[in-house]
Structure 1
């Protein structure tokens, strides 16, 4: 009699459950894929009380309510390139993680901002910001857009504007090219495009506003006083940023502005 038969008879006699078959290890996700982005997001932790929150505070972004699209990873893998000398880099840095989503909320990618624990600024590497996954048409989203929303290139641009108009849904497309290709929600009535003050920013804003108007959406451009709206917030202050926005928002959207 084989041991397997003896073990099976003992199992039946003792009314023991049949053991679960061993499961195969989870296969690794292709580097830079949407699945890899979703796994990174799942491993990250809430933003509150982390180095990532401190980094945003240093950038003048202190009200982070409604920022569920942001998390923190204490040790996020960083792959150096030819501009990263080995004595200045390491394999992993703390990072601010932002979820890139489609209109239906599906996570399609992730944006990483690697941070220096000593300074709470960006890590001293050649490319401290990188995105992964499926980005075209998608964005880091804050709030659910119904009839009015803002869109811009950078994460910090959108977060800076939300210090002044916190109730307005917004989307950070993460680059000029991706801003031009941003997918707009059905039923949108008015779109504010926050442009950066450079040639690429102007071209992206023009492309998106043209697409929106062709779809019957009122499209207005928000222009910073300096290079971008985070620079306006940091160098000019919240009051000057508020005053500048007040002249650019439609009258019925000014009620969304936080009072001084």
Structure 2
């Protein structure tokens, strides 16, 4: 194994359960192992992935298939579950998961001070610095079209009029207007950025293959709306959390950007109650299950918030704000109804 592969495998092993929940989603945790049918994510119980290492051998991330005697590490899991053949593609996918810069041969040996590696936290900070407030921009049009009207105090969202978009490494770069979201750690430092490219009309996302992409260090971090103390809500999508904010404008909220990252979100030391905002799909169920265990182990009260449709933005658009308010009111603590819900 090359030093690059060994380093990636080691970093993946530190997040073994998150890797398994994303790439081996047909399995489940059993003690210190993830159990699934095989490395290609078939349902079953013959393959075991060690989730936690020991002082003597048996490191985290190693797996064995008792039915076939196959064995390997988490790079093999990514390769087989995603159907990848070339190691560069496997490494790129691993780096995407770890929120590391993607490999770029033209930049591999660059050490100058004026450029930041593509996809790095520094690159994300520079992108965010090139943006402007969303008031009066296509971002405001886009959010209002999705039923989101409370745009006060959301400094984590900005507008870029000509944000670069590259469909593939071999295709020419395009430019589209974009909503840029700052991903921050618990201290408020920008560690990454999330881009939502927009149609020039502002009424929808841009008509491109992947209109949403994230960059930088995402694991444990989030797009934040307000500063959390003892109570906060956390979910996947930006629009989902902004929709919930329409009826609880004073509750601190965080968008982790994916189910896997939601399951790994870090909690403030002062947190005593976490509202887990789930999407109605299998990935949302997995994130909820994982966070229920993590919060209870940390002495934090978890409360699940479930939409009637696919997510809370869908509920806001299809049911209206009064129905959304009633739906949320039934699910949150009575103390927080008085504290956070808009009259």
TM bucket, shorter chain: 0.7 to 0.9
Highest relative contact order (Cα 8 Å, sep 6+), 1 or 2? 1
**How big is the shift at 1:27?**
1.9
- Which residues in structure 2 correspond to 1:120-135 (within 5 Å)? 120-135=203-218
Which residue does the alignment assign to 1:97?
180
**How big is the shift at 1:214?**
0.6
- Partners of 2:335 and 2:153 in 1: how far apart? 22
* Unpaired segments ≥5 residues, structure 2: 1-111
Say yes or no: does 1:43 pair with 2:126. Answer: no
- Partners of 1:66 and 1:143 in 2: how far apart? 8
Which residue does the alignment assign to 1:63?
150
Which residue does the alignment assign to 1:258?
342
**How big is the shift at 1:28?**
1.1
Give the conservation status (yes or no) of the 8 Å contact 2:138–2:201: no
SS of structure 1 residue aligned to 2:198 = strand
- Partners of 1:234 and 1:94 in 2: how far apart? 24
Give the conservation status (yes or no) of the 8 Å contact 2:138–2:202: no
Given candidates 226, 237, 240, the residue that maps to 1:157 is: 240
Give the conservation status (yes or no) of the 8 Å contact 2:147–2:316: yes
- Partners of 1:98 and 1:237 in 2: how far apart? 26
Say yes or no: does 1:75 pair with 2:136. Answer: no
Which residue does the alignment assign to 1:22?
none
- Partners of 1:215 and 1:90 in 2: how far apart? 45
* Unpaired segments ≥5 residues, structure 1: 1-24
Say yes or no: does 1:171 pair with 2:242. Answer: no
Pairwise CA RMSD: 1.6
Which residue does the alignment assign to 1:140?
223
Shift in CA distance, 90/29, structure 1 to aligned 2, threshold 3 Å: closer
- Partners of 1:207 and 1:70 in 2: how far apart? 28
**How big is the shift at 1:149?**
0.2
Shift in CA distance, 119/110, structure 1 to aligned 2, threshold 3 Å: closer
**How big is the shift at 1:90?**
6.3
Say yes or no: does 1:198 pair with 2:285. Answer: no
Say yes or no: does 1:32 pair with 2:119. Answer: yes
**How big is the shift at 1:118?**
2.8
Tell me which stretches of 4 or more aligned residues in structure 1 moved more than 6 Å.
Answer: none
**How big is the shift at 1:119?**
4.8
**How big is the shift at 1:135?**
0.0
- Partners of 1:234 and 1:191 in 2: how far apart? 25
- Partners of 1:42 and 1:166 in 2: how far apart? 26
Deviations 1:5-64 (A, max 9, x none): xxxxxxxxxxxxxxxxxxxx8521111000000000000001110001110000110111
Which residue does the alignment assign to 2:263?
180
Which residue does the alignment assign to 1:228?
311
TM-score between both structures, scaled by the size of structure 2: 0.66
Which residue does the alignment assign to 1:18?
none
Deviations 1:160-196 (A, max 9, x none): 0000000000000000000000000001110000000
Larger Rg: 1
- Partners of 1:103 and 1:94 in 2: how far apart? 29
